Structure 1
Amino acid sequence: MSMLKFALRNVAADDGTHVMGTNTIGVITDNKSRNGKEEIVAIKMALEDFYQYSNQNFGLDLQIRNSHGDPLQAALAARDLIDTKHVEAIIGPQTWEETTLVADICSQNMTPVLSLADATPNWSTLKWPFLVQASPNHFKQMKAVAAIVHSFGWYDVNIVYDDRDSSSTRMLSHLYRALSKACVQISNLLPIPLISSSLSQELEKLREGHCKVFVVNLSLSLAINLFETAKKLNMMEKGYVWIITDPFTSLVHSLKASTISSMQGIIGVKSYFPEIGVQYEDFYLRFRRKFSSENPQEFNNEPGIFAARAYDAAWTLALAMTQTDNKGGQILLDNILLNNFTGLSGKIQFTDQKLDPSNTFQITNVIGKGYKEVGFWSDGLGFSNNIGQNATTFNSSMKELGQVLWPGRPWGNPRGWTPPTSDKPLRIGVPVLATLKQFINVIQDQTENTSTFQGFTIDLFRSTMELLPYHLPYKFYPFNDTYDNLVKQVYLKNFDAVIDVTIISYRYQYAEFTQPYTDPGVVMVVPLKSKLAHRTWLFMKPYTKTMWALILAMIIYNGFILWMLERRHNPEIRGSMLNQTGSMAWLALTPLIKLDGDRLHSNLSKMAMVVWLFVVLIITQTYTANLASMLTAERLEPTIDDIDQLRNSNIKVGYGTGSFLKNYVQKVLQFHPANMRHFGALEEYAEALRRKEIGAAFLEVPAAKIFLAKYCKEFIQAGPLYKIGGFGFAFPRGSPFLPSVNKALLDLFETGRVRELENKMLASEQCEDTELDGEAGSLSPNSFWVLFILTTGTSTIALLVYVFRRSYANHEERTIWRLPMMIIEQCGHAKRRISRKVSDVTESPMTSPTTHATPTQV
């Protein structure tokens, strides 16, 4: 930064006179506040230093006004400075409420105002074009707070804030977003200020709660009152965590030892500025002397971030005034915004009339009579022990920075919450309107005003609590309203947990859930109808298609064998091809109708027939028995196969009363509201299905299991399973108990305890389900393959023996009859020769024409 020499002719007090021919600067601050006192001293020092290092030949009149922390007083002071003192610019005030009124007056008079408030909204410079934010936005410190909370695994926090200060309210919104990203829940909000007695009562309520982590965003006076009250209530002891933010953290150094004693173990997050270098060391020494002389009643005279920012703001304004001959107005504003140098508080460079926001914050720990530096947090980098060029390692967890002294000086880090005691157990909400009495059954005794809780979910919750690594007292409370309102009670802190609720996405805005302890999903239940009604081909059902094909093949094969064996002995099976084919079929089918073999002549055919008769006897008797079983046993199937059939035929469907199923059936499954009916108890579904008021009912899987166990002979599940969340336990968002409860549920599943409880629940409703599918009762060749091999083998052996014997007989016959055939053949030759000779004699002249000799005579 190039230094300009500037002549400061007069520094006026509150009632100082205006010096003619000089530039006039106004300051509005709360003279009684610690940061106001630091700002006044720092501004005076800045102008003195500017005078020392500059050679400008014009004076500067400094007009200081006390706002008393009141926005109206600040506005009146601004009007006085502009109208009476004709100031070219104003530095201050400290709060956003004061800034809004001052900025409005200054913009109307084209007077730049350098605000030292914590932060201004983005729209502020559009509304007030002469407003310049001379202090950086430090909303990012809320990210540092969330990172600290997340580092130690704390799931929820209590927040204490000043509801009078709008900047504190905006800070709260940033904190909420930062905590949400870190998966941390806000347990309670405590607005301050409150009267002393009221503050004690509110803190007492927070002390009774389970959450022991507090984030405090208050002004100095309010914070001191808070911690003194908390000390009296023993809330600064072991187990508690207190995290403070700016502006309070940056003023801890100014507190007295007696005040510090009530704040031991507090973690602080404050804006960082480099307290190093020759310039700062010189400023530090001179500030302490000047501050002590002007404020002798103050306990500590060290400068803080407020002094550094006021010093830089005054220097910024002085530089801008040296660069223009015009006093005030738009030119002065433009010169202010052109400044670019490194001041005591850091980089001074404006973007959209605002200083760039702070990205680095210091983590402190209150110990003894002061505080110690724990480390630093940088946006986008994390925690580190050093800053700037010395920072070599960054960590996502604050635990890496070293040991922290917590309230009560405990060993190790606080858990952040305390388990409930027997005097104040967890309040567990139980739905009275539960339609599944097997899951939840609340028996209320109005005379004694007591309730008895029974059912699967109650047993499961008790078993889960027994497996927790710590004792967790609890008590059941009945809730007589809808499930949605039941879950909201967790959000409203009326219950510490609720049980037996369906896990649905929109309910996550009110609570967090354990893993489901039931099968998740929705199914369609429809009436049953007989599978055997109007079956034309019922007689084919006792055997499978393969079995029938094999029987036909065996009939053809055995018929062919018998025909081969009997055709030489039985003239009835001879004749045309058609006659022989019919005879072959008759031989094969005869055993199926009449168990005898009287018409057989061959011993081989009788042997094959005996085995075939044995196989046929077994096949026919088995067929008769299986067909009789099918006719006497009830065979059932769904009346409706799929959901499309329901929609296309406009059949009415049922769903549960007071549940999310109404929206699911209407919007997801796309049923028209006119075709939807709601019911309560499972018996109502059964009656409606019997009377055909509805064609199907949509039930969650747990309800469907109980319904089908009770009515398994009347109704059946049809269609696919529609995936949704199952039943679970609901806890407040960020509940410290949730991880332990989830692990305990897993242990119950792995040990089989959940299955035991479910079987116990369904035992009283269990009945035999008669549903059979397709060919489940049909017999296949697997049951008869030995018989088929026996008959096939016997028939094949008989055929082979027959072929062998025929071949052998033909060979012997040819041998025996060969000689007679030769004789006959020779006789034939002789006969033909004699005939030729007789013919020759009869034709000669010596033969009488009237005499003829016959061949026989010859």
Structure 2
Amino acid sequence: MAIYLMLLIFSTWLSHCVCVEPFNYVENGSIGSKQAVRVGVVIDLDSDVGKIAENYTSMALSDFYTRYADYRTRLNVAVKNYGKDDVIFAASAALELMKNEQVEAIIGPHRSSEAKFVIGLGERAQVPIISFSATSPTLSPTQSPFFIRTCHDDYSQIKPLTSIVQAFGWRQIIIIYEDTEFGNGLIPYLADALQEIDARIVYRSVISKPKNIPLELEKIKAMETRVILVHMTDALGSRLFLAANQTGMMSKGYVWMITDGLSTLLHSLEKQVTESMQGVLGIRPHVPNTNRLQEFKTRWKISEINLFGLWAYDTIWALAKAVELVSESHSNASTQSINNGRNIGEAFLGLRVSESGPVLLEKLKFTRFEGLSGKFRLIRGQSEVSEFEIVNVRRKMGERVIGYWTKKKGISSDSWENAKTGYLSSMHELIKGIIWPGYAKAPPKGWNIPVTGKRLRIGVPLTSGFNEFLNFKWDPITLEPTNFSGFTYDVFIAALEKLPFQIPHTFVPFVNSSRQSNGTYDEFLYQIKLQKFDAVVADATITANRSTYVDFTMPYSESGVSMVVKVNDKKNNNIWIFLKPLKWDLWLSSGLALFFTGFVVWLLEHRTNREFRGRPDQQLSTILWFSFSTLVFAHREKVENNWSRFVLIIWVFVVLILTQSYTASLATMLTVQRLQPSVVDVNELRMNDYFVGYQKNSYVRELLTGQLNLNESRLRHYSTPEEYHDALSKGSKNGGVEAIFDEIPYIKLFLAKYCSGYTMVGPKYKSDGFGFAFPSGSPLVYYFSRAILNITEDHNKMQEMEEKYFADQTKCQDSAASSTTSSGSSPSLSVCNFGGLFIITGLASIFSCVIYFVKFQRNNNIRSSMNAIHSKSSLWSRTTQMLKNCACKDLPLRAESNMRS
């Protein structure tokens, strides 16, 4: 508001500095019966855009009223040249047109910063402010109802720009823009859009005056990033590229892109400027090459068209059509001119309020026609562009269109027909058509080591143990690290070989003046943030906290944290341990099966086999002896009955399985079960207040005190596998520890040396593995991650490196699993494990007895006497007699016949 007051107060004495040039279209020397409508044009005729707009405005008026000679209205255009790039002069010129000329609309000014203040005056007077070149997104027709933009806003070119960045895989961008409304308006939106495609702005160079350009270019030249986006007008942008060429920044390896603020005016720039822009990529709205445009160029003898000029041309046509529509609407109600309706009220400092302004604004918003720049159609008060050209600046050939971007299809080939039909060319075809700075044909990677001869300072840790990952020696003469080896080192060298470029580097140990480790791994990695190192190659675990100040590559090794404890050798001195392999139900079932099988064999054999006969006590002892002797296959009695042999075949199979299972279970109890971990979980460590160890300088300390809630005073740190062994051997009560927490790769190396006395138990706490570290946003992360993926997918290569350093790990890989099993549930066997065997042997025995008794009844020589018994005796008597007969020895058939006779 303060600026508005200043503008209004000083408008009187500033008005004499403004040149008023009425530009009236006169037909046959006079306007005649045509109604003249006053329209103002506020423009800087000293600028390229101003000169172009004046020419195209004149051509537009001539062409329009030649085609629409029957229109009853004529635009009476008054051009005010404020002559300076100053918002005060531009606003004063607009104020003068509103007060003295009483214009119905104002076209311009063409700069966004100037248009911002003129829009405020237009709202007070309700006069439409129409801009064909103010593209800043901060100027919004939705927020300023009397503002019309007949061009696109800069926000619409964000998507084409980010599509190019994404297509070439660039991750870091430097932006150079001018400190004006035009320059500042685009940057917040562009930063958000780049973040969505995983790219970021690493430096913003804001230039307000040409004298600041050399200093800013020197800053940028010293940076690693080589992708530079310029968002400037032609006046400041020309000086920038001249200075960049002199500084040597238009050479191979650089990527320069420009927005349409420069790309639309390439043909109007001086030759030395375009020659210094060799290899620049730019985007600009696409103008269809219609027959009308070709006819326009031929009629006015124009070799190169200008987009701002076409927008100015279409603006005049749209305004002339809208004025005619307003005149028609007024004629229906009154014959009064649309210029006479301004008696609504007196505004501030004599600024009157227009009556026809709101009507003209509504008619203009709904105006539709086919213009030179394409279809004229306002959406929410402004023109929208959905089609862009990708241009490449050539030193000899000038600008060349190499591709297109459309909202529906994205980047397409250099054929507009292909772009319209949706044919997407490959990036290879698009890349072939680009000449980059320094006449390079291959796309730049987007970054480079800024100073010639500089080597990448790669930090490496100094460790006293676990040298399998990284190890080096000190040269006694140069006192420099040499003879690097280890799994981590080999992976890094293999990744370097797969990069598409060379990286000069030198390894710098993270040590103090005494050549001792200079801190923890967290402090080591933070040196990248402090710019002491350019990268870190180490067995560094990827954690969320570390990722806040460095960027990690893809992990080259899996990791995680677990607990290793001592294994207790508990010798079992129980004198009754021989009974434990079988449970009581299996012992009882086995005994019953033994006796039953012996009884069945005796029953089948005693009538014909002398070895199964004798006194009752002898026969009982025979049954018992035969049953138990079959357990060790030591029975001496010979069986003669085939059914007895059948029963024994089944029984021997059962006995074989029983004895083998008993032997295996007892052996397990006497050997494997004796190896049990001293501690099984973290809760036991907390309950007994044991001392716990961890590797020195590791992040595991934070895990123990934070996530596992262990007392910090009960923690002890160690460095080597030998120290681990010594601490676990002593135990917590003798100056050692009860358990050691460490990352699994280190635990496996420790167990490879001391697997007989220790085991890994408890849950595994996941981590993202080991990775190389670089500064946040470094493009090297992308290239190294791809290289690491190629290495890890090469199983032969990875296996070769792992066997080189970790060959001894395999002998102890199952130690944790075996100890966990032995300390679990009891290995004793129950009857359920052998129920099927008992059923088989029982059925076989019963089946044999049934067959035998059927045969016995058929051949019995005392059948007749038994029949008598059946008829006269009781059930008990018959059963007793049958058992007595079974106990009798079978007689020969001849003796049986004599007895009958």
Please give the alpha-carbon distance, in whole angstroms, between the structure 2 residues aligned to 1:278 and 1:562: 117
Q: Does 2:615 match 1:585?
A: no
Please give the alpha-carbon distance, in whole angstroms, between the structure 2 residues aligned to 1:621 and 1:336: 101
Check conservation: 2:226, 2:446, Cα contact below 8 A.
yes
Match of 2:396 among 343, 355, 368: 368
Q: Does 2:244 match 1:165?
A: no
Deviation at 1:512, TM superposition (A): 6.1
Match of 1:425 among 455, 460, 467: 455
SS at match of 1:268: strand
The CA deviation string for residues 449-475 of structure 1, in whole angstroms up to 9 with x for no partner, is 966777542343234434556543323
Please give the alpha-carbon distance, in whole angstroms, between the structure 1 residues aligned to 2:408 and 2:525: 36
Q: Does 2:481 match 1:465?
A: no
Structure 2 CA distance for partners of 1:268 and 1:700, relative to 1, 3 Å: same
Deviates more, 1:381-390 or 1:564-573: 564-573
Structure 2 CA distance for partners of 1:477 and 1:97, relative to 1, 3 Å: farther
Structure 2 CA distance for partners of 1:454 and 1:553, relative to 1, 3 Å: farther
- 1:574 aligns with 616
Deviation at 1:246, TM superposition (A): 0.8
Q: Does 2:359 match 1:359?
A: no
Deviation at 1:252, TM superposition (A): 0.8
Please give the alpha-carbon distance, in whole angstroms, between the structure 2 residues aligned to 1:285 and 1:537: 118
- 1:815 aligns with 894
Structure 2 CA distance for partners of 1:182 and 1:366, relative to 1, 3 Å: farther
Paired letter, 2:153: N
Paired letter, 2:423: F
Deviation at 1:368, TM superposition (A): 0.8
The CA deviation string for residues 159-195 of structure 1, in whole angstroms up to 9 with x for no partner, is 3321513543443445445555555565655444562
Please give the alpha-carbon distance, in whole angstroms, between the structure 2 residues aligned to 1:45 and 1:691: 96
Deviates more, 1:431-440 or 1:362-371: 431-440
Q: What is the TM-score with the length of structure 2 in the denominator?
A: 0.67
Deviates more, 1:161-170 or 1:684-693: 684-693
Deviation at 1:556, TM superposition (A): 4.6
Structure 2 CA distance for partners of 1:493 and 1:147, relative to 1, 3 Å: farther
Structure 2 CA distance for partners of 1:486 and 1:314, relative to 1, 3 Å: farther
Check conservation: 2:391, 2:399, Cα contact below 8 A.
no
Structure 2 CA distance for partners of 1:659 and 1:269, relative to 1, 3 Å: farther
1:677-696 equivalent positions in 2, closer than 5 A: 681=718, 691=732
- 2:111 aligns with 95
- 1:220 aligns with 234
- The alignment covers a number of residue pairs equal to 765
Check conservation: 2:142, 2:380, Cα contact below 8 A.
no
The CA deviation string for residues 281-331 of structure 1, in whole angstroms up to 9 with x for no partner, is 43675385xxxxxxxxxxxx8441111112222333333334151464322
SS at match of 1:373: strand
Q: Does 2:564 match 1:517?
A: no
Please give the alpha-carbon distance, in whole angstroms, between the structure 1 residues aligned to 2:174 and 2:123: 36
Deviates more, 1:52-61 or 1:433-442: 433-442
Check conservation: 2:38, 2:102, Cα contact below 8 A.
yes
Check conservation: 1:524, 1:717, Cα contact below 8 A.
yes
SS at match of 1:728: coil
Q: What is the TM-score with the length of structure 1 in the denominator?
A: 0.70
Structure 2 CA distance for partners of 1:497 and 1:397, relative to 1, 3 Å: farther
Question: What is the alpha-carbon root mean square deviation over aligned residues?
Answer: 5.9
Deviation at 1:644, TM superposition (A): 9.7
Deviation at 1:574, TM superposition (A): 1.6
Please give the alpha-carbon distance, in whole angstroms, between the structure 2 residues aligned to 1:88 and 1:488: 65
- 2:306 aligns with 304
Structure 2 CA distance for partners of 1:61 and 1:190, relative to 1, 3 Å: closer
Deviation at 1:705, TM superposition (A): 3.1
Please give the alpha-carbon distance, in whole angstroms, between the structure 2 residues aligned to 1:174 and 1:523: 47
Please give the alpha-carbon distance, in whole angstroms, between the structure 1 residues aligned to 2:140 and 2:502: 54
SS at match of 1:771: helix
1:582-621 equivalent positions in 2, closer than 5 A: 584-585=623-624, 588-589=627-628
Paired letter, 1:374: I
Match of 1:68 among 84, 102, 107: 84
Check conservation: 1:420, 1:426, Cα contact below 8 A.
no
Q: Does 2:389 match 1:347?
A: no
Please give the alpha-carbon distance, in whole angstroms, between the structure 1 residues aligned to 2:575 and 2:359: 103
The CA deviation string for residues 344-393 of structure 1, in whole angstroms up to 9 with x for no partner, is 22222222222223433353442415223324221221314343699445
Paired letter, 1:104: G
Structure 2 CA distance for partners of 1:123 and 1:391, relative to 1, 3 Å: closer
SS at match of 2:492: helix
Structure 2 CA distance for partners of 1:314 and 1:557, relative to 1, 3 Å: same
- 2:158 aligns with 142
Structure 2 CA distance for partners of 1:704 and 1:82, relative to 1, 3 Å: farther
Q: Does 2:265 match 1:251?
A: yes
Deviates more, 1:38-47 or 1:556-565: 556-565
- 1:265 aligns with 279
Paired letter, 2:315: A
Match of 2:771 among 728, 737, 745: 728
Deviates more, 1:689-698 or 1:73-82: 689-698
Q: Does 2:796 match 1:753?
A: no
Structure 2 CA distance for partners of 1:142 and 1:592, relative to 1, 3 Å: closer
Match of 2:40 among 5, 14, 26: 26
Check conservation: 1:435, 1:680, Cα contact below 8 A.
no
- 1:635 aligns with 674
Please give the alpha-carbon distance, in whole angstroms, between the structure 1 residues aligned to 2:509 and 2:124: 63
Q: Which has the larger radius of gyration?
A: 1
Deviation at 1:630, TM superposition (A): 5.1
Structure 2 CA distance for partners of 1:230 and 1:700, relative to 1, 3 Å: same
- 1:16 aligns with 20
Check conservation: 1:432, 1:481, Cα contact below 8 A.
no
Structure 2 CA distance for partners of 1:714 and 1:260, relative to 1, 3 Å: same
Please give the alpha-carbon distance, in whole angstroms, between the structure 1 residues aligned to 2:563 and 2:306: 70
- 2:883 aligns with none
SS at match of 1:60: strand
- 2:13 aligns with none
Check conservation: 2:173, 2:199, Cα contact below 8 A.
no
Check conservation: 2:543, 2:768, Cα contact below 8 A.
yes
Structure 2 CA distance for partners of 1:690 and 1:26, relative to 1, 3 Å: farther
Paired letter, 2:744: V
Structure 2 CA distance for partners of 1:469 and 1:33, relative to 1, 3 Å: closer
Paired letter, 2:311: R
Q: Does 2:168 match 1:113?
A: no
Q: Does 2:803 match 1:771?
A: no
Check conservation: 2:258, 2:282, Cα contact below 8 A.
yes
Please give the alpha-carbon distance, in whole angstroms, between the structure 2 residues aligned to 1:492 and 1:315: 61
Please give the alpha-carbon distance, in whole angstroms, between the structure 2 residues aligned to 1:677 and 1:271: 69
Please give the alpha-carbon distance, in whole angstroms, between the structure 2 residues aligned to 1:677 and 1:89: 82
Structure 2 CA distance for partners of 1:436 and 1:23, relative to 1, 3 Å: farther
Check conservation: 2:404, 2:419, Cα contact below 8 A.
no
Paired letter, 2:114: E
Gaps of 5+ in 2: 1-15, 25-34, 328-337, 343-353, 511-517, 646-650, 830-836, 861-887
Gaps of 5+ in 1: 1-11, 289-300, 781-787, 826-858
- 2:786 aligns with 739
Please give the alpha-carbon distance, in whole angstroms, between the structure 2 residues aligned to 1:433 and 1:73: 71
Check conservation: 1:592, 1:616, Cα contact below 8 A.
yes
Structure 2 CA distance for partners of 1:308 and 1:775, relative to 1, 3 Å: closer
Check conservation: 2:694, 2:718, Cα contact below 8 A.
no
Please give the alpha-carbon distance, in whole angstroms, between the structure 1 residues aligned to 2:545 and 2:767: 13
Check conservation: 1:653, 1:695, Cα contact below 8 A.
yes
Please give the alpha-carbon distance, in whole angstroms, between the structure 1 residues aligned to 2:87 and 2:473: 61
Deviation at 1:74, TM superposition (A): 3.1
Structure 2 CA distance for partners of 1:213 and 1:489, relative to 1, 3 Å: farther
